[in-house]
Amino acid sequence: MSPVPPEPPSSRTATGSPDPLEWLTGLEGVPSGFASTRDGIDALLRDRGLRRSTPAQTAESLLRGAHASAALAGSTSTLEEVRDGTGDDVAAAAVRVSTELLSLVPVLGQAPLQALARVHALTGAPDPGRPVSPEAAERLRSLGRTVLATRVPALLLAALVHAEVVSAAPFSAHNGLVARAAERLVLVARGVDPASLVVPEAGHLALRAEYESNLRGYATGGRSGLHAWLLYAAEAQARGAESSPLRG
């Protein structure tokens, strides 16, 4: 997989500059898949009363996400252990990320690489925020330019950022935790889920075999792997909405 999907010369942003991801919205099933997921998220937030949501619900969503992300990274801690602070080291790293994640929303919109570096630092991994190689650093820079340049639907962008960070593995450890946190961060920053009540990490955990398979396909399968990942991600994000604290 190339560092970032190449831009077609005809794709333009509102400012007239090329949009590097617009071509992805023409892939079969991708626009409809993400549109359906967005409709479901919008209905959840509207019907369950976004205006009446509480900080406690946001905290619960972040906690559920930390548990699911840690499980995908190999943690064996239960949700209750994560909740009461007795989880293993991976779970503790995921909780540290979740605790400060929303403070990075404005950073993502101005300096995406700084936001990713801070997320990595929160995991407590060695060499916090520092890419492991010049190649990894360049791939992150390419991703950062893409995040700032594109205006594709936020769910699509969140899925791409997630897969790129996992595939690039730019940091010394916990790249999966960073990638899943980045997906949630994009959904908040781009206005899909301003109060962070959806749990995308839980959607991936519910579809763990497909998640891992499609990430491998993204890394090695060229455009077909990218296409398959996007179709999968729309389904996983819909599952994440089902795990929201708004559903009980």
Query: What is the overall mean pLDDT for the chain?
Result: 93
Q: What percent of the chain has pLDDT over 70?
A: 92
Which tokens belong to 1?
Answer: 């997989």
What local confidence, expressed as pLDDT, does residue 17 receive? Answer: 74
pLDDT digits (tens, 9 = 90+) for 4-43: 665 444 444 444 578 999 999 999 999 999 999 999 999 9
pLDDT digits (tens, 9 = 90+) for 193-210: 999 999 999 999 999 999
As a whole number, mean pLDDT of residues 151-177 equals 98
As a whole number, mean pLDDT of residues 110-137 equals 97
As a whole number, mean pLDDT of residues 176-184 equals 98
Question: In the chain, which residue ranges form alpha helices assigned H by DSSP?
Answer: 30-47, 55-72, 79-83, 89-100, 105-110, 112-123, 134-149, 154-168, 175-189, 200-206, 208-220, 222-242
Query: How many whole angstroms separate alpha carbon 233 and alpha carbon 33?
Result: 9
Rg (CA), the chain: 17
Assess contact for 120 and 136: CB atoms under 8 A.
no
Residue 49's pLDDT band (boundaries 50, 70, 90)? low
As a whole number, mean pLDDT of residues 179-186 equals 98
Specify the range with the lowest mean pLDDT, choosing from 13-17, 103-107, 153-157.
13-17
Closest CA to 100 of 128, 129, 123: 123
As a whole number, mean pLDDT of residues 124-149 equals 97
What local confidence, expressed as pLDDT, does residue 53 receive? Answer: 83
What local confidence, expressed as pLDDT, does residue 248 receive? Answer: 77
Q: What percent of the chain has pLDDT over 90?
A: 88
Residue 50 has pLDDT above 70, yes or no: no
